[in-house]
Chain A
């Protein structure tokens, strides 16, 4: 009797283990609360949508995808602990975090474990530290900021520029590259203003911009702070044209800032308003499932999962050790893998090359003014 029970238990255990082995486990650590909640929630929803789609079509190489979500609370210290916990469960690939500061402190952990990390951070330095396991889902600042500086100089014809940035890894990284580029092109930086993450009151900063009277203002803050400074710029009647990145003209910023966002321009690596059919379809599916229009972070999360799918199918097997090697130098074409949305090439450092967009907020909507082609 005892042996029958034991055999039964063993059989049940074996069945459970094999069912478990069938699924490919992904681990996501994102900013689900705190200052980056907008970023993390979009990212998470994008991941869930992609996984649902892929599983509905039979999974990757016949195996379903499974993901666990953990909250970094937008805090690098918590992110590190959550990533360590996620890595202990030996995932196939690590997804996230979205904040550069959190990526910076978690990347060495993933690299040490030999697990590829597909993240949302955009700080230039992230992919310059020789980490062989780190991959971007969007442009790094070293790719986007030169385009921004060129636009401010050539198209906005600004001879003087005020630069407002958030004092963290993301803000400092962008500020360093853009100021260097503006200087090279001959536009003078007349105000260089650092602000704090989570800052509520921008009256003094906007006062300084007003006093400097620049031809253009470059705003490089996180989403909520961008909305607050846009309102304050309007409140104090600053009329100089505003230029930024995705974080200045994202959906959430437009929703929060209302009228004050009108006229702001930004260089955007990814936007759900892009004149690309596959992106339009993504936006429709996402809005239908979650009842709101996603921002670029929703796209990033979605793309991260399809990067996993395309790379795994390229290898022809689920091999976490070879994953990073395979993705380096890989070009994924949207014609072969529609989930990747636009043709993309990954460099040896994990940076990406893809077409990008110049967007202006017109009457509360993102309008794509120019499409900037892939570099190579």
Chain B
């Protein structure tokens, strides 16, 4: 039983990170029909930007700020202006393929400029345990969960409670009407790209101390987040959150109770079942687009 509790906590912590990445997926899809297959690599890169800042002599806190800012410039602004905007004119599929190429490019660039070897990465959460209901739970798991939940709540509040959020929703649901009533649609789209960059930088900061900084570490994350987004509902932020948590827990339970060899297969099978019986995702709505 204590084993199950540990597995649930660890699964939720990993799932919360998947959720952050999956939310970014859905945001980009909602506002600009971008399916970003480089999303995993987007999580890998900020850690290396932070490491580069630390190698240049910056303290950890400054490296985090620089890393997040650089991520927003490179993975938000530059990604939109240099890749999405020019490719979008040719349709969704060429853009999706271009993001696949970007994923390969990012991996190779990090391998070339940094190293193919893994590097250690400091944790923002101290190591140690706290006791919940008589169970020792690591501070790191709790810290990851709290930061991820705060980020998701912050985002939901922004989308639902502020004028800016309402404008973003309007831009996503019906750009033509939004434009007529004076919503700066282009700026709203750019904003979602910047928010996605912020989310992946945050995910990078949380996951890298556990997975280590490595050029290939985005592969697993990108895939998990993609599955999470589809399972939860590609057109709903809350769907992506639920999907992320579900896949995190499912992955851990599968590794423990099915078999380590087949752990990767279980979320895939679940994905197929969801697509067969509820193609809009568990919380998604058919034929609707909101953020």
Contact = CB atoms under 8 A, between A and B. Distances in A.
B41 interface: no
Interface string B209-241: 111101011001000000000000000000000
B127 A236 contact: no
Interface in A1-60: 32-34, 37-38, 41
Contacts of A33: 111, 116
A235 B141 contact: yes
Contact of B116 (A34, A196, A199, A234): A34
Nearest to B255: A204
B261 interface: yes
A231 B127 CA distance: 10
| Majority DSSP secondary structure for residues of B touching A | helix
A117 B188 CA distance: 62
Nearest to B14: A201
A276 B182 CA distance: 78
Interface string A172-206: 00000000000000000000011110111101110
Contact of A227 (B115, B116, B212, B251): B212
Contact of A252 (B6, B116, B117, B127): B117
Given A167-B261, A204-B252, A256-B212, A236 B6 contact: yes
Given A204-B263, A228-B212, A237 B129 contact: yes
A70 to B, nearest CB: 15
A333 interface: no
B260 A194 contact: yes
A228 B3 contact: no
Nearest to B11: A203
Contacts of A245: none
Interface string A193-222: 111101111011101101100000000000
Nearest to B119: A256
Contacts of B138: 235-237
A258 interface: yes
A194 to B, nearest CB: 6
Interface of A: 32-34, 37-38, 41, 167, 193-196, 198-201, 203-205, 207-208, 210-211, 224, 227-228, 231-232, 234-237, 252, 255-259
Q: Which A-B residue pairs are the 3 nearest by beta carbons? A: A204-B255, A203-B10, A37-B116
22 contacts: A32-B116, A37-B115, A37-B117, A41-B116, A167-B261, A194-B261, A203-B6, A203-B7, A203-B10, A204-B254, A204-B255, A204-B260, A205-B255, A210-B2, A224-B118, A231-B210, A234-B127, A235-B140, A235-B141, A236-B10, A237-B129, A257-B120
